[in-house]
Amino acid sequence: MNKGAVAAGHHLTTEVALEVLRAGGNAVDALIASYVASFITEPCMGSPGGGAFALVSQPDKEPVLFDFFCQTPLQKRPAEEYHFIPHIVKFGAEEEVFYFGRGSTAVPGAIAGIFALHQHSGSMPIKQLFQPGLKLMKEGVALTDFQRYDLDLLGDIICHDQFGKEIFHDNNGKFKNVGDKIFMPLLADYLEVLSIEGAREFYEGYIAHEQDRIFREEGGSLSYQDFKNYKALLRPPLSLPLGAKRLYCNPLPAMGGAVMAAALDKIWSSNEKIKPGTSEYYHLFAEAFALARDLQLNPQKLTAWTNHQMSKKWGSTSHISIVDKSGMATALTTTIGEGNGYYDPKSQVIMNNMLGEAALLPGGYHSWQPNVRLSSMMNPTIVRGINGDIVSMGSGGAGRIPYVLAQVCWNYLTSSLSLREAVNYPRMHYDGKFFQVEKTSGQLPEKLLGIPTKLWNEFNLYFGGVHAVSRNANGDTEAIGDFRREGAWGFE
């Protein structure tokens, strides 16, 4: 019997999507409902103040990529006028520096994207799709181990202002513990208005005017005109043949899809059946990742590589993957970065800090150009077979995302590993100094390409969080949420 499947970053995000599928909604309906719910179930990763990419694949149609990522402001001020605060996030022994504050915010696309998805292929009333998430915001959601860990990593940002503290602190002024509920009733009220009034209310109403005030008075980035001009964009995805299958992923100007495609193209060209975990396996990925990283750090070379391939006609982040019983598949990757540290007191919306993400700004902080769609390493991915089978996946993990997905794709499509085994398999990443290698029982060389390897003795969210679903030509489904980020999955 044909059935749908869902994989996401929280069990309630997953359950909301499954409820919509069981009520007769399609994969896009389920995606919208679960995305709204993620604003409370995964509050360190999702918000109306963030951005996302979504890939939609319908049977017998070419997939479509929805770009509702963040846009740079129309006006650029001197760097010293921006409110810009550094913060160090530690992943085990590794550290990353991010900046937050009023001046770190780019124009958010989440709300525009939700309504664009619904207009394109939604089948249920959008107000109905908002309701499960609004209910969770009012009734509260208990913190899980992973959400509590997120607070340890990002709490200085998420709870920077008093309104964040009201959500995440207990009566003693400490972070709430696992099992304690967080509530966002004001966000529920605001989103209910949006579900009736539409995206225009967000981009020309209260939020847009409030951000304009912040721009003028508090070192912010955004003006009313930035919001009014924002549009979700539909693009043809980047496409790559992988044997008898075809991969679809995020196209330029986002870098994630092209970087992953470059790595996979290098790996596939080896024409070797290499067993995961062997020395040859690590050397193969080391070569591919070194090539892909070089392209990543040189946008002009990456663009040239992508254009050449297209001429050959191969056509804090979380992810949701869905396939419904008709074979429609969706993949959405979303982020607020680490948040800009400020919750709006009337709507409980926290804005993104995309202008404080070094991975998005190869030229350095404040190097962005006005009025352009920011690049991103986020990369919702769908692989389709000629017989009708389909896989939908994506990951969190900042600049590591395309490398994580390349490994999962290779392990699943070329070996005897199941989808679950491919997602759970130890990963590696090249950070420019070391090949970081996740806990493994395989044959790990001390050096790869003459570069030292660093072995982690644990599985860690540093190596992403791939949530994936698949459906074969017979209608059989498989789903897996990555244990590294407390992923959840279920079936219609």
**In the annotation, is 278 catalytic?**
no
Q: DSSP secondary structure string, 6-29?
A: EEESSHHHHHHHHHHHHTT--HHH
Residue carrying the six token digits 């490398």: 403
Per the domain annotation, does 370 fall within a domain?
Answer: no
Burial of 245 (0-12, 13-18, 19+ CB in 10 A): middle
Pick the catalytic residue: 317, 334, 335, 477?
Answer: 317
Verify that 311 and 331 share a domain, yes or no: no
What does the alpha-carbon distance between residue 95 and residue 88 come to, in Å, rounded to a whole number? 7
What does the alpha-carbon distance between residue 264 and residue 243 come to, in Å, rounded to a whole number? 11
7 vs 388, residue with greater confidence: 7
Verify that 125 and 263 share a domain, yes or no: no
User: Which of 28, 29, 35, 39 has the alpha carbon at shortest distance from 14?
Assistant: 35
pLDDT in tens, 14-64: 999 999 999 999 999 999 999 999 999 999 889 999 999 999 999 989 999
- Is the pLDDT at 271 greater than 70? The verdict is no
* Segment 202-228 mean pLDDT: 96
* Segment 283-300 mean pLDDT: 87
pLDDT of residue 91: 65
Per the domain annotation, does 395 fall within a domain?
Answer: yes
| Domain span including residue 311 | 236-317+382-481
Per the domain annotation, does 489 fall within a domain?
Answer: no
Per the domain annotation, does 220 fall within a domain?
Answer: yes
- Is the pLDDT at 272 greater than 70? The verdict is no
Give residue 301's identity as a one-letter amino acid code: K
Residue carrying the six token digits 């130890």: 426
295 vs 250, residue with greater confidence: 250
Per the domain annotation, does 57 fall within a domain?
Answer: yes
pLDDT of residue 232: 98
pLDDT in tens, 132-186: 999 999 999 999 998 888 888 888 898 999 999 999 999 999 999 999 999 999 9
Instruction: Please give the order of strands across the beta sheet that includes 317-323.
Output: 233-235, 64-68, 51-57, 329-335, 317-323, 5-8, 488-491
% of the chain surpassing 70 pLDDT: 96
pLDDT of residue 313: 36
Which helix (DSSP H) or strand (DSSP E) does residue 31 occupy?
A: helix 27-41
* Segment 408-422 mean pLDDT: 91
- Is the pLDDT at 314 greater than 50? The verdict is no
Verify that 163 and 28 share a domain, yes or no: yes
441 vs 227, residue with greater confidence: 227
What does the alpha-carbon distance between residue 130 and residue 340 come to, in Å, rounded to a whole number? 25
Verify that 455 and 339 share a domain, yes or no: no
Per the domain annotation, does 136 fall within a domain?
Answer: yes
Report the domain count for the chain. Answer: 2
DSSP 8-state secondary structure symbol assigned to residue 477: E
Res. 291 pLDDT band, cuts 50 70 90: confident
pLDDT of residue 398: 81
Verify that 204 and 258 share a domain, yes or no: no
314 vs 356, residue with greater confidence: 356
Per the domain annotation, does 355 fall within a domain?
Answer: yes
pLDDT in tens, 66-117: 999 999 999 999 999 999 999 887 766 667 788 999 999 999 999 999 999 9
Verify that 66 and 205 share a domain, yes or no: yes
Verify that 455 and 432 share a domain, yes or no: yes
User: Which of 395, 297, 453 has the alpha carbon at shortest distance from 407?
Assistant: 395
% of the chain surpassing 90 pLDDT: 63
What does the alpha-carbon distance between residue 202 and residue 231 come to, in Å, rounded to a whole number? 12
Give residue 288's identity as a one-letter amino acid code: A
Verify that 90 and 184 share a domain, yes or no: yes
Res. 311 pLDDT band, cuts 50 70 90: very low
* CATH value at residue 463: 3.60.20
Give residue 408's identity as a one-letter amino acid code: V
pLDDT of residue 330: 97
Verify that 18 and 131 share a domain, yes or no: yes
pLDDT in tens, 352-366: 999 998 878 878 889
Beta bridge partners of 121: none
Verify that 65 and 166 share a domain, yes or no: yes
Q: What are phi and psi of 180, to 5 degrees?
A: -75, 145
Q: Give this prediction's pTM.
A: 0.93
Verify that 255 and 296 share a domain, yes or no: yes
CB 350 within 8 A of CB 49: yes
Verify that 333 and 189 share a domain, yes or no: yes
Per the domain annotation, does 367 fall within a domain?
Answer: no
Res. 442 pLDDT band, cuts 50 70 90: low
